[in-house]
Amino acid sequence: MHVEDVLATKGDSVQTIGPGASVHEAATLLMDMNIGALVCTDPTGGVIGIVSERDISRAVARFGWDAIDMSVSEIMTRDVITCRAQDEVGYLLVVMTETRCRHVPVVRDGVVAGIISIGDLVKIGLGE
């Protein structure tokens, strides 16, 4: 099975945020959408970072409640692990397990084209 097969089932919708948005905006969007990560993109749709619940909790632990007014670019993960639609799901699962990464943006022609979460892969493994 390939990443594109997962996207065909779950959809290719991905929530993005700009680097200048506040951590508060990011946390609100995560809560409202009931998701665990936002892909931070440049104006052309290229991936420049990812901000997850984990990034936000670490920022609060490090900076206190002042973190809420910081920008996404100040707390996001910049070294983003990405994948392609043609990648094997098994390979992606190994990468996610080894790097403890829970969300991997799918990139096509330099632009974010979807996102795969560890939960998506667990559902496939369970036959859901």
Indicate the domain borders of the chain.
3-125
Which parts of the chain sit beneath pLDDT 50? none
Q: What is the pLDDT of residue 123?
A: 84
Query: What's the CATH number for 3-125?
Result: 3.10.580.10
**What residues contact residue 9 under an 8 Å CB cut-off, 6+ apart?**
124
Interatomic CA distance for residues 1 and 113, integer angstroms: 18
pLDDT digit string, tens, across residues 17-45: 999 999 999 999 999 999 999 999 999 98
| pLDDT at 63 (0 to 100) | 96
pTM score over 0.75: yes
